Amino acid sequence: MMVIILNQQVTDAQKKHVLDTVLEAGATPYPAGPTTVVVPGNHAALTEKLASMPSVVQVVPIKSPYPLASREFHPEDTVIDIRGHIIGGQTPTIMAGPCSVESVEGIVEIAQAVKRLGGHLLRGGAFKPRSSPYSFQGHGEEGLKMMAIAREKTGLPIISEVMEPDKVALVAEYVDILQIGARNMQNYPLLREAGKSMKPVMLKRGLSGTVEEWLMSAEYILAQGNPNVILCERGIRTYEKATRNTMDLNAVPVVKHLSHLPIVVDPSHGVGKAAFVRPMARAGIAAGAHGVIVEIHPNPAKALSDADQTIDFAEFGQMVREVNLISDALSGSEKDHVLMHV
């Protein structure tokens, strides 16, 4: 593959000329944002021709099947600014909130706890994917409105899931980050629409998604010109049933090696039992994750969904402390100096 970088002042005519040149060579150009074009396949002759055009800044040959998501193309870490909070930098991002948004009072109370205890973003389910058509499917737009009120009261940015292409615009109106859930990791029409929205997107790994498939799904979003993708490891499905899922922390250094995109871990879904969320949050940060997303509730036993894996405020506070202790302890260390040399 190759990625063609056009200069910022490229004119429509120049861009058309580039695309036509690619087409004439029998290749297919995929514009990915105003100044980027991806061309699959090997076209050495084309490379030279393109490189000599005045509107072309650079032609980057890429071996990876997910060029825009790869470190080959983009060696530095991607850093995403969400209302002033940085995801992908040195400080771990903490996102927390209920599985389902239940009421205005409830979500505000939780948001205040998240903020007080050191969290940075509020998560909450409004449109809920449920295995049964007869289960509570979330409060939908009403839930998003409640989250927006909680953001107003606390200043915390909000993240919530979107499940279908048609609802992307609606959800994007409310949230700061669109979440794409594990079941939809390969819902390509949804990925495309999320890409077009230009909102930051947190893409969860599917229950049986390989690292490669996951990065290729991220590529669907990036290929729309939306550079702000956050990956989230939330447990894969294995034979082991002592835990709800098997959080695959091995994927954290692997993804950081292959891609520049930030990666966070979700120990609530990853391990699926409240008592094990805190140690697995610690482990995620120690593995190099850029953050943690967890389900919290003032009284987990009464939560409308996911009660077993939801932690209370005290446990959450302790988790934040420990996560920060680990991050601080490692900050002097060249945490990942080897990774890039492999």
CB 16 → its own copies: shortest distance, Å? 20
DSSP string, 175-233: -SEEEE-GGGTT-HHHHHHHHHHTS-EEEEPPTT--HHHHHHHHHHHHTTT---EEEEE
Bridge partner residues of 292 (DSSP): 94, 265
Per CB under 8 A, which region of 51-59, 70-78, 251-259, 297-305 contacts its own copies? Answer: 251-259
Q: Work out whether 13 is an interface residue with its own copies (CB under 8 A).
A: no
CB 336 → its own copies: shortest distance, Å? 7
Q: Is 191 exposed, middle or buried (0-12, 13-18, 19+ CB in 10 A)?
A: buried
Question: Do residues 257 and 228 touch, judged by C-beta distance below 8 A?
Answer: no
> Segment 95-134, which members bind its own copies (CB under 8 A)?
129-134
**Residue with Cβ nearer its own copies (52 or 132):** 132
Query: How many residues make contact with its own copies (CB under 8 A)?
Result: 89
CB 74 → its own copies: shortest distance, Å? 17
- Binding test (CB under 8 A) with its own copies, winner from 126, 190, 230, 296: 190
> Segment 315-334, which members bind its own copies (CB under 8 A)?
315, 318, 321-322, 325-326, 328-330, 333-334
Q: Work out whether 91 is an interface residue with its own copies (CB under 8 A).
A: no
Q: Work out whether 238 is an interface residue with its own copies (CB under 8 A).
A: yes
Q: How far is CA 142 from CA 130, 147, 161, 166, in A?
A: 18, 9, 14, 17
Per CB under 8 A, which region of 53-61, 80-88, 94-102, 278-286 contacts its own copies? Answer: 278-286
Q: Work out whether 284 is an interface residue with its own copies (CB under 8 A).
A: yes
Core vs surface per residue 216-249: b (16+ CB within 10 A) or e: bbbbbbbbbbbbbbbbbbbbbeeeeeebbbbbbb
First-to-last C-alpha distance (Å) of the chain: 22
Determine the Cα–Cα distance for residues 192 and 273; give it in Å rounded to an integer. 33
Give the amino acid at 85.
Answer: H
Q: Work out whether 296 is an interface residue with its own copies (CB under 8 A).
A: no
- Binding test (CB under 8 A) with its own copies, winner from 42, 103, 210, 299: 210
Q: Work out whether 189 is an interface residue with its own copies (CB under 8 A).
A: yes
- Binding test (CB under 8 A) with its own copies, winner from 73, 174, 276, 316: 276
The DSSP output letter for 92 is P
Bridge partner residues of 123 (DSSP): 159
**Residue with Cβ nearer its own copies (176 or 266):** 266
Determine the Cα–Cα distance for residues 28 and 107; give it in Å rounded to an integer. 48
Determine the Cα–Cα distance for residues 334 and 317; give it in Å rounded to an integer. 27
Name the 3-class secondary structure at 283. helix
Site string for its own copies, 25-44 (x = CB under 8 A): ---x-x-------x-x----
Give the amino acid at 105.
Answer: E
Q: Work out whether 273 is an interface residue with its own copies (CB under 8 A).
A: yes
> Segment 169-188, which members bind its own copies (CB under 8 A)?
183-184, 186-188
Rounded to a whole number of angstroms, the CA Rg of the chain reads: 21
Per CB under 8 A, which region of 18-26, 95-103, 115-123, 250-258 contacts its own copies? Answer: 250-258
Q: Work out whether 298 is an interface residue with its own copies (CB under 8 A).
A: no
CB 237 → its own copies: shortest distance, Å? 4
